Structure 1
Amino acid sequence: MRELIKESIIDLKKTDGFIYVTADGKKIDLHEAAARGIAVTPVNPKDEVIKKLEAAGLHLTDSKFLNDLNDLIAELSGKAASKSSGKRRSFSDAEKSKIIEEWKKVEAAGKKTKAAFAREIGVGYQTFINWLRG
């Protein structure tokens, strides 16, 4: 699956515009086809990539499938799915203290940056810095 995704990315990056396909389905350069008098059909490379991915079971044009896939990734990575209502979350002083205590442990272990820790707990970097100064 990983190889298919990598190939798809390469296919999309290496073409600018359409690719041209002969009657027997082989890709050919437009200038070469014209020089040799071969009839070609223009094909959008995105359509070809989508067909390959769908054949492998990745329906990336289906928004429900994408939502489910994003939810799965969020669950596997331990991050809550981003279904934010746009409201700010308030933290009590006790919660802030607990978070700062946790940061001190993480910092002592040297495992994460402040920015990564703030992202992980769902707090803006500057807010987290202000708590530390607090």
Structure 2
Amino acid sequence: MRELIKEAIVDLKKTDGFIYVTAEGKKIDLHEAAARGLAVTPVNPKDEVIKKLEAAGLFLTDSKFVNELNDLISVLSGSSASRGAGKRRSFSDSEKYKIVEEWKKVEAAGKKTKAAFAREIGVGYQTFINWLKS
């Protein structure tokens, strides 16, 4: 899977616009095809990459699939799923109170820094400090 993704990145970076294929499906330079008098069909390289990825089960044009994949990556990396998706999260006063109470337990145990705790719950450090002050 990793190789497929690397290949897709290379394919997309190395082309400027369309790629051209012969009737047999072989990629060919447009100037070479013209010099040899071959008919070619323009193909968007993105379409080709999408087909390869979908054949491997990666449906990156499906927003629901991409959101689920981002959530999985966020959970595996230990960051907040909502933060990984670029969405802002609002906390109610009762949620803030519970988080501050949880912090007091963690702080008493001396296991984490404020910054590490804030990252773990998906809140900016300064926001967390402001909650502690209020």
TM-score (ref. length: structure 2): 0.71
- Following TM superposition, by how much is the alpha carbon of 1:41 offset from its aligned partner in structure 2, in angstroms? 0.7
TM-score (ref. length: structure 1): 0.71
Q: Is the CA contact (8 Å cut-off) linking 1:96 and 1:131 kept in structure 2?
A: no
Q: Is the CA contact (8 Å cut-off) linking 2:80 and 2:122 kept in structure 1?
A: no
RMSD: 3.4
Q: Structure 1: how far apart are the matches of 2:62 and 2:131?
A: 42
| Matched residue SS, 2:81 | coil
Q: Structure 2: how far apart are the matches of 1:50 and 1:17?
A: 15
Query: Which residue of structure 1 aligns with residue 18 of structure 2?
Result: 18
Q: Structure 2: how far apart are the matches of 1:26 and 1:75?
A: 42
- Following TM superposition, by how much is the alpha carbon of 1:65 offset from its aligned partner in structure 2, in angstroms? 2.4
- Following TM superposition, by how much is the alpha carbon of 1:106 offset from its aligned partner in structure 2, in angstroms? 4.2
Query: Which residue of structure 2 aligns with residue 97 of structure 1?
Result: 104
Q: CA distance change for structure 1 residues 127 and 4 in 2, over 3 Å: closer, same or farther?
A: same
Query: Which residue of structure 2 aligns with residue 48 of structure 1?
Result: 48
Unaligned runs of 5+ in 2: none
Q: Structure 2: how far apart are the matches of 1:56 and 1:43?
A: 20
Q: Count the aligned residue pairs.
A: 127
- Following TM superposition, by how much is the alpha carbon of 1:132 offset from its aligned partner in structure 2, in angstroms? 8.5
Percent identity between the two aligned chains: 74
Q: Structure 1: how far apart are the matches of 2:3 and 2:59?
A: 17
Structure 1 residue ranges (4+ consecutive) displaced by more than 6 angstroms after TM superposition? 131-134
Query: Which residue of structure 1 aligns with residue 91 of structure 2?
Result: 88
